[in-house]
Amino acid sequence: MSTDQKELLRQRVVKAACEYYQHAHVHHKEFEPGDRIPYAGRIFDDAEISALIDSSLEFWLTSGRYAEKFEKEFADYIGVQHCSLTNSGSSANLLAFMALTSPKLGERRIHRGDEVITVAAGFPTTVAPIIQYGAVPVFVDVCLPTYNIDVTRLDAALSDKTKAVMVAHTLGNPFDITAVKAFCDKHNLWLIEDNCDALGSRYLFRGQWCYTGTIGHIGTSSFYPPHHMTMGEGGAVYTNDPLIKRLIESFRDWGRDCWCPSGRDNTCSNRFGQQFGELPFGYDHKYVYSHFGYNLKVTDMQAAIGCAQLQKLPGFVEARKRNWQMLRDGLADLQDQLILPEAAENSDPSWFGFLLTVRRESGFTRDRLVAQLELHGIQTRMLFAGNLTKHPCFDEMRKSGEGYRVADDLSVTDQIMRDTFWVGVYPGMTEPMIEHMISVMRQQLR
């Protein structure tokens, strides 16, 4: 079969898949009260189908041309030098942290027993890599109504063992990067921004608008379906430091020293001419390991979907902002019963959800309100762990009194655990859906 014939056949296959999409996935049913309103969902069209089928026809099942394309375009979009794709946001956090344990960083590397400042009011995989490696998370309380780290507690959390700060921008709302970055710079600490819930959020840093995730030493993103854009599974780690980029990709790719992409050999032009450790001189560089790593690569089919999604990201971000503002305006007069979310100072959030904390004096409870919303088909979520230190995974450490440290107290974190929940603002929500959510909440609280 000639090249032209193959290309025509490829076009026919892709066209057929797009036609299937029109029949199987395009629905025009108008929302009616009682219909389920999910907190999040994938938004896609025939562009994602086309890219997915196109990549699958090559049957290059690991990272390939679409992964390279996405890494470049994503880095350009958020304004960083280097982006490395991985198979999930949780893996992105793992790689971000583990890169900082590399012996190649010399005195700045994180050792077992070193401390990392973080928060307990969030998702566990911001903290899990710290514990899994054998470092010590130091938990700092958060603030309402931003739900982010209380920067006034940073000094109290500091010790001579502190090596890093690793915190998330909560549900798209940037933490006080100015204060956290100044603290890290003053004490020569690493800063990892967990940006998994905040892709597209911006922060006014030193007079310049920057995307969150790009101000610290390393940023991470998740492309799980509920997030701002999706690959199904998938994540990214990004940095402006070429050494850190090399370390991230070494840990991602089995711990190897070689940087050749999959399917390519000898990009260093010295594959068989180097000395490594006690290996024989000239040992194949593709099989030299400088770290104890993993295999956390993304597939090219996932990356192909991501390339199509990235083109839609600006529209997704604007829809999230619009939906969040509708909810904020519609509930504005209920602040005697609810603590409503507020954007952090000097920020332009790309919201992941709409956080609500039921006031203790309201005569209502979070659990009662959540039950009523769910009964009316409105999906809700807690602020992830609430207080991570209260979960069974901390039982042994809590009993032994070792493995983590709490700076001062976590009273606001505990309040969030008891009284906070959130509803969605994802781009698939329509104005009637949001109006229904507002109506149900008002009925329950009046």
Question: Which string of DSSP letters, residue by residue, matches 146-189?
Answer: T-SB-GGGHHHH--TTEEEEEEE-BTTB---HHHHHHHHHHHT-
Which three-class secondary structure state does DSSP give residue 293? coil
- Counting beta carbons within 10 angstroms of the beta carbon of residue 276, is it exposed (0 to 12), middle (13 to 18) or buried (19 or more)? middle
DSSP 37: B
Q: How far is CA 86 from CA 197, 235, 258, 390, 413, in A?
A: 16, 5, 17, 30, 31
> 218 pairs with which residues across the strands?
192
CB 207 within 8 A of CB 188: no
Alpha carbons 340 and 355: distance in angstroms, whole number: 7
227 in catalytic set: yes
Q: Which of 82, 217, 227, 228 is catalytic?
A: 227
CB 149 within 8 A of CB 183: no
DSSP 70: H
Alpha carbons 75 and 200: distance in angstroms, whole number: 12
CB 228 within 8 A of CB 199: yes
> 192 pairs with which residues across the strands?
166, 218
Instruction: Kindly list the catalytic residues.
Output: 227
